[in-house]
Amino acid sequence: MSETLFSKIINREIPADIVYEDEQCLAFRDVNPQAPVHILVIPKKSIAMLTDAMETDEALLGHLLTTASKVAKQEGFGDAFRLVVNNGADSGQTVFHLHVHILAGRSFSWPPG
């Protein structure tokens, strides 16, 4: 996989406002927030899109979701947040390193988009 903006953040080549890190993932504030709270949770393993994940990545994918919940609670929004995963350019994915958006701090409508 080619180097991305997110791999550069993981490698500390680009600064980011990191709010959580463990051995499998990193969470940081989005530089272009779409809500009062907009945090990205990314795996340290390079996976371009959700559709590129393998069965062997199941535990990692679950870890991303439980980490997102933990970070939302840490930020004070444990009971009211939205998670978004865009898969591919047509869905709005602009950085091809799998990431989960945590959005909180305002009301959201349904359906999205």
Place of tokens 């069965």: 55
**Among the listed residues 110, 17, 26, the one whose alpha carbon sits nearest the alpha carbon of residue 68:** 26
Q: Check residue 31 and give its pLDDT.
A: 95
pLDDT single digits (tens) 42-86: 999 999 999 999 999 999 999 999 999 999 999 999 899 999 999
Res 78: pLDDT? 84
In the structure, what pLDDT confidence band is assigned to residue 21 with cuts at 50, 70 and 90? very high
Domains of the chain, CATH where assigned: 5-104 (3.30.428.10)
pLDDT value of residue 113: 66
| Spatial distance between the Cα atoms of 70 and 72, rounded to a whole number of angstroms | 6
Kind of pairing between the strands at 18-21 and 82-84: unpaired
Catalytic residue among 38, 63, 97, 99: 99
97 counts as catalytic: no
Span 23-38, mean pLDDT? 96
